[in-house]
A and B are shown apart, each in its own frame.
Chain A
Amino acid sequence: MVLCIVALFVFAILGIFSVRYRKLAVEAFDCAVRKVVFRPCESKLDERIRAKVVAKVLVKSPKAASFLNKNFEVFSLALFVLTLSSTGYIIYGVYNLLTIGTCDPITGTCIFSPLGANVTDTKPVCAHTGFTEFYGEGCPHCEKMEPIVAEVEVETGVVFEKLEIYYNETNLQEMLTHANDIEQDCGILGTPTFFSTKTNKSICGEVSKARLKAFILQNG
């Protein structure tokens, strides 16, 4: 029975591309249905598959063919389990591809992201690491911090979610929701501000690489 089900699965997929396999898929379906109710497969598809596979192995190795023939049902069951689990992994993979895309977890760049960012958008859509950098377009202190932030991200594996606040109202509002916490640690609301969404702690302005790394370690 399992052989018929595996055959149905394989021929159904191949039948998408070739008419020849559609007929076999129909045969396999009939065979599988009959086997489920303990009736013999009329077309003898299962016997034909077995004979063809064993014959091909027999040409190469009689011992292997003998072993295969003797344990064909076991091999069929193993193949059935492998087919099911492969199908599961493929479905899971396709789901991930559609929802997450092909994002680089370190740089945050996404080559393909069907439901999110496009190729030119460097905003990371990978899972949020819990750290945000509020910056401003044209902010000189922010520009000075760029290479330091890049180095720290590579060395720690932590990527800052970068939100521009001078021109992006939404991002500004986001920063304002944490205004009390930021002012508590930094005294003012300014850029660049490095904020931990886990501890609500922040450091601001131009800071050293070591200080930024320490901030990540203490608040991650």
Chain B
Amino acid sequence: MIEHLVENMNINKIREDFPIITNSKVVYFDNACMSFKPKQVINAINEYYTNYGSCAGRSYHKLGKITEEKFEEARNKIAKFIGSKKEEIVFTKNTTEAINLVANVIDFSDKKKVVTSNMEHHSAILPFQQLSGKGKINLDFVVADDKGEMTGDMWAEKIDKNTKLVVAHHTTNSIGTAAPLNEITKIAHEVGALILVDGAQGAPHSEINFKKSNFDFFAFSGHKMLGPTGTGCLAAKLDLLNKLPPFLVGGETIEKVTLDSATFTKPPHKFEAGLQHYSGFIGLGTAVDYLSKIGMKEVKKHEIELARYLLEGLKEIEGVIIYGLSDPKRKNCGIVTFNIKNIPPHQVSIMLDEMEKIATRSGVFCAEPAMNHLGAPNGAVRASFYLYNTKDEVDVFINSIKKISVISYK
């Protein structure tokens, strides 16, 4: 239950729900990596550990039953949040594990081709790179344009009848560009390929409807959407989950075990080996309640407003190079990535932190091929927004960038 109802987007009220904002007094623009947690989520976690902290799905005592109820209730909430069925939500520790799960359970013996893009996060590339290295798949890449964007036609050129799986981002973590997922999904299904969407930057910031979108797999992280660390989900079509073998095996995944064999249980538990992160997912359930009360459309609108405001400010500063969409009118997400000429990105990031306690990310953002492609082999600085960021914070940021740009030299 949400203790503090948030009406619309009253930013000040929202900010009051995040104790770390008051405690740290930081201007936090690293939400693409990790979001802050509202006190409601923190309290839910505390409640688990103080009132019933037990195992779910095993124990018949009261505390165990409460844990199981809360845990599965959270699964239900998360499923509803992304428009899927409860049985289609597999809990993982993050998006990376979710993608690895898919990579390691799909049978590539009939069709070996996997198509992805050069703009993906390392976690979406490496599992398939490893498989390709072992000769299990043939990995092909769609190359984005110089702004990091891709059209449906670019994907259509690569996806053919030999394609088993297409791996595409919802939104790139590096520069915030979006893949044309509707088109890609259609193209993939036309050739009988499956589609796995890296939704790490999608689920926290956009309305997702898993059923309507017709994705086969959708992976996302809880820690980027107000949830605790160590929480992630793989949403997958139930008929696929029924057919696919488990990835990690052990307790919880089975119905019956002998010394020679095991009968695996139904999804999603088939894919959730061992004791789960009960407090984490109960917390994540509370996080999706919080986001649902505000509404993802409002969240996205707010972030886009901030991103456009920032872009307008950055465009006025000499020496600033913006990656991805630089036209404020076209900006459609809350990620802005840039460099300042002749100043290494890490230096900019440290100086922002030192001068005004502004937290940004610098480097290649675990997307080295993408940053190389965009002409930033040493990386860049990324500002990523969320529902609790304000225009005042963006003003402080712009002023700091103006000051830092002065020390740039030819």
Contact = CB atoms under 8 A, between A and B. Distances in A.
Give the secondary structure class of A's interface.
helix
Contact of B351 (A55, A66, A68, A70): A55
Contacts of B349: 51
A163 interface: no
Given A44-B346, A54-B347, A59 B355 contact: yes
A70 B409 CA distance: 7
Contacts of A50: 347
A55 B350 contact: yes
A52 B407 CA distance: 14
A59 B353 CA distance: 12
A65 B346 contact: no
Given A51-B346, A51-B347, A66 B406 contact: yes
Interface string A43-55: 0100110111011
A54 B346 contact: no
B404 A58 contact: yes
Contacts of B343: 69
A72 to B, nearest CB: 10
Interface of A: 44, 47-48, 50-52, 54-56, 58-59, 62, 65-66, 68-70
Contacts, number: 47
B369 interface: no
Contacts of A69: 343, 407, 409
14 contacts: A51-B346, A51-B347, A51-B349, A51-B350, A51-B354, A52-B350, A52-B354, A54-B351, A55-B351, A58-B403, A65-B406, A66-B407, A66-B409, A69-B343
Contacts of A58: 351, 355, 403-404, 406-407
A65 B407 contact: yes
Nearest to A70: B409
A159 to B, nearest CB: 57
A48 B406 CA distance: 19
Contacts of A56: 354
Contact of B407 (A47, A48, A62): A62
Interface string B334-368: 00000000011011111100110000000000000
B354 A62 contact: no
Contacts of A65: 406-407
A62 B350 contact: no
B147 to A, nearest CB: 29
Given A47-B350, A48-B350, A62-B407, 14 more contacts: A44-B346, A47-B344, A47-B346, A51-B346, A51-B349, A52-B350, A54-B407, A55-B350, A55-B351, A55-B354, A56-B354, A58-B351, A62-B406, A66-B406
Nearest to B344: A47
A146 B409 CA distance: 73
A50 B343 CA distance: 11
Contacts of A44: 346
A48 B353 CA distance: 11
Contacts of A59: 355
A93 B403 CA distance: 44
A157 B346 CA distance: 62
Nearest to A56: B354
A151 to B, nearest CB: 63
B406 A47 contact: no
Interface string B209-234: 00000000000000000000000000
A55 B355 contact: yes
A34 B355 CA distance: 30
B340 to A, nearest CB: 11
Nearest to A44: B346
Contacts of B350: 47-48, 51-52, 55
Contacts of A52: 350-351, 354
A66 B351 CA distance: 13
Interface in B305-351: 343-344, 346-351
Contacts of B346: 44, 47-48, 51
A62 B403 contact: yes
**From A44, A47, A54, A56, residue with most partner B Cβ within 10 Å:** A54
Nearest to B346: A47
Contacts of B348: 51
B159 to A, nearest CB: 40
B89 to A, nearest CB: 40
